[in-house]
Amino acid sequence: MSNPQQLRYSKEHEWLSAADDGVSTVGITEHAANALGDVVFVQLPEVGDSVSAGETCGELESTKSVSDLYSPVSGEVTEVNEDVVNDPSLVNSAPFEGGWLFKVRVTDEPGDLLSADEYTAFSAG
Amino acid sequence: MSSTPLRHTALDALHRSLGATMTDFAGWDMPLRYGSERDEHNAVRTRAGLFDLSHMGEITVTGPQAAALLDYALVGNIGGVKPGRARYTMICRADGGILDDLIVYRLAEAEAPEYMVVANASNAQVVLDALAERSAGFDAEVRDDRDAYALIAVQGPQSPAILKSLTDADLDGLKYYAGLPGTVAGVPALIARTGYTGEDGFELFVKPEHAVELWQALTKAGEGAGLVPCGLSCRDTLRLEAGMPLYGHELSTSLTPFDAGLGRVVKFEKDGDFVGREALREAAARAEQNPPRVLVGLVAEGRRVPRAGYAVVAGGEVIGEVTSGAPSPTLGKPIAMAYVDAAHAAPGTPGVGVDIRGSHEPYEVVALPFYKRQK
């Protein structure tokens, strides 16, 4: 599977887009989506919520398990993907596109986000 | 993590070539799913699915007193099983606790009686040890046949048609819970009409060296019928929809069959003593006077999934515990099996919820099973 070059990645398997007017989009990677299996429920933060890098801000439920969703950055949530709330299978079918999770106005980000190549190596190991 | 290396079935290389996600299950490296577990589940409900179940534990019991031994060792009336038929039963401890649930096949009569006991993978050694110990004084032999068989299941409404194209065996004459020796795709097999999915289907016990050949023949025969390989993940949602208990979830040594709502498997009327008889008598009387928690179905109104161990609540009180839960592909809602206090067990009991990580989500109490196939 290929991880888009223009994104950056956390070790908790979230991806983060480059900021557009200070706002970045967050999703989970294809690797994570495959590991979860069919995602059947997502609980996302609400618009206006403050999220903190490395802390939980929601959950992803699949057939067999429930996983915490971590925010890769700190900031304020500006938008959540209602499509994925209504159809969680988008996380599996289009993790880097229609299956994005939320947008965040970034105030701080940790220095340890990975490049696509670094993440590919990390998730393979 | 266990330091014991995982065991592999005869189909291991094939699973990997099919891109299966593998998982450690009872010490075996087994396919969890090949693609989407929901698609696999739906294939079994509407067409057909192919399972590798070679991790199940086969134990052969032979000899003049094979039936007498099994009647003593198990809670069912095994002497009453006719040749070619199978029975669901349990093996209990002296205190009545369930050691395992089993299917016992009485193989077609040759000379001496021969039974095949199929135990859950996680309990196979326990069952083998218990049977060996309980065989003292009986003219019967208990044989560990776990390595003698691979087990392939074809389940789903298309399974009879698929199998028919590969065998001359009389499948129409083969009833549910029956088995007959035959040849499938040129491979000698015990063909059993059993399964764990709630669908019509077959389980094929073959020599491990024939497993790949049989799997490939079934795959080819099922191409036009929409047969797909299926992993343990959808096996679990299929059996949950069908309301079938799973050892370690609905059944355990801390429950007697009466506590599990399965007292009917205990046959007090059979001849002779059997292990657990006295304790099970008491358990039956206890259950009569003071109903134990009842195994019920729960259907979610929302979308959050109950998991094993979550508390069932009503009016702020804990009234039970979830034993298995999953999103049901067939119902399109999360479902669960749970033991709840008898006062809250009636279908439609209002105000029942499941504590899902601190939030009390509303659930409807329903009778099991959630799903019953149309015959």
Residue range A52-65: average pLDDT? Answer: 92
- Check residue B140 and give its pLDDT: 96
Which strand (E) or helix (H) includes residue B16?
Answer: helix B12-17
Residue range B68-74: average pLDDT? Answer: 98
**pLDDT confidence of B110, banded at 50, 70, 90?**
low
Question: Is a pLDDT exceeding 60 seen at residue B1?
Answer: no
Give me B328's structure tokens.
Answer: 């049901």
**pLDDT confidence of A83, banded at 50, 70, 90?**
very high
DSSP A43-78: E-PPTT-EE-BTSEEEEEEESS-EEEEEBSSEEEEE
**pLDDT confidence of A65, banded at 50, 70, 90?**
confident
Residue range B199-226: average pLDDT? Answer: 98
DSSP B113-177: -EEEEEE-GGGHHHHHHHHHHHTTTSS-EEEE-TTT-EEEEEESTTHHHHHHTTB-S-STT--TT
Quick one: closest CA in A to B304, which residue?
Answer: A41
**pLDDT confidence of B227, banded at 50, 70, 90?**
very high
Question: Is a pLDDT exceeding 90 seen at residue B374?
Answer: no
Tell me the backbone φ, ψ of residue B132, rounded to 5 degrees. -60, -45
Distance CA B85, CA A120 (A): 54
Distance CA A123, CA B35 (A): 19
- Check residue B109 and give its pLDDT: 72
Residue range B229-247: average pLDDT? Answer: 97
Give me B232's structure tokens.
Answer: 């343990």
Distance CA B260, CA A119 (A): 48
Question: Is a pLDDT exceeding 90 seen at residue A63?
Answer: no
Residue range B232-253: average pLDDT? Answer: 97
Which strand (E) or helix (H) includes residue A13?
Answer: none
Which strand (E) or helix (H) includes residue B367?
Answer: none
Residue with tokens 């599996």: A92
Chain B positions touching A34 (Cβ under 8 A) are 21
Q: What is the mean pLDDT of chain B?
A: 96
Q: Do A63 and B37 touch (CB under 8 A)?
A: yes
C-alpha angle with apex B107: B104 to B108, nearest 5 degrees? Answer: 150
Question: Is a pLDDT exceeding 60 seen at residue B300?
Answer: yes
Look at residues B274, B236, B319 and name the one whose alpha carbon lies nearest to residue B99. Answer: B274
From the list B233, B303, B307, which residue is nearest A40 (CB)?
B303
pLDDT in tens, B20-63: 999 999 999 999 999 999 999 999 999 999 999 999 999 999 99
Chain B positions touching A41 (Cβ under 8 A) are 303-305, 327, 334
Q: Do B326 and A61 touch (CB under 8 A)?
A: no
Residue range A17-41: average pLDDT? Answer: 93
**How far, in whole angstroms, is CA A16 from its chain's centroid?**
7
Q: Do B305 and A37 touch (CB under 8 A)?
A: no
Please answer whether residues B110 and B63 qualify as being in contact, where contact means their C-beta atoms are separated by less than 8 angstroms.
no
Sheet holding A23-28: strands in order across?
A8-9, A14-16, A23-28, A102-108, A74-80, A50-51
> Does the beta carbon of B326 lie under 8 angstroms from any beta carbon of chain A?
yes
Q: Do B36 and A92 touch (CB under 8 A)?
A: yes
Please answer whether residues B275 and B96 qualify as being in contact, where contact means their C-beta atoms are separated by less than 8 angstroms.
no
- Check residue B106 and give its pLDDT: 96
Does a cis peptide bond (omega within 30 degrees of 0) precede residue A45? no
Look at residues A18, A23, A33, A40 and name the one whose alpha carbon lies nearest to residue A116. Answer: A18
Chain A positions touching B305 (Cβ under 8 A) are 40-41, 61, 66
User: Can you tell me the ipTM of this complex?
Assistant: 0.76
Weakest mean pLDDT among A61-75, B152-166, B227-241: A61-75
Q: Global pTM? A: 0.91
**pLDDT confidence of B3, banded at 50, 70, 90?**
low
- Check residue B237 and give its pLDDT: 97
Share of chain B above pLDDT 90, in %: 95
Whole-angstrom distance between the N-terminal and C-terminal Cα of chain B? 44
Look at residues B336, B375, B328, B339 and name the one whose alpha carbon lies nearest to residue B356. Answer: B336
Q: Do A41 and B303 touch (CB under 8 A)?
A: yes
- Sorted by sequence, the CB contacts under 8 Å of residue B40 that are 6+ apart come out as B33, B34, B49, B228, B229, B230, B231, B233, B234
- Sorted by sequence, the CB contacts under 8 Å of residue A74 that are 6+ apart come out as A50, A51, A52, A53, A106, A107, A108, A109
Distance CA B335, CA B316 (A): 21
Question: Is a pLDDT exceeding 80 seen at residue B341?
Answer: yes
Question: Is a pLDDT exceeding 60 seen at residue B259?
Answer: yes
Q: Which residues 30-89 of B have a C-beta within 8 angstroms of A?
A: 32-33, 36-38
Residue range B93-112: average pLDDT? Answer: 91
Share of chain A above pLDDT 70, in %: 99
From the list B36, B236, B304, which residue is nearest A61 (CB)?
B304
pLDDT in tens, B116-130: 999 999 999 999 999
Output DSSP code: residue B28. Answer: E
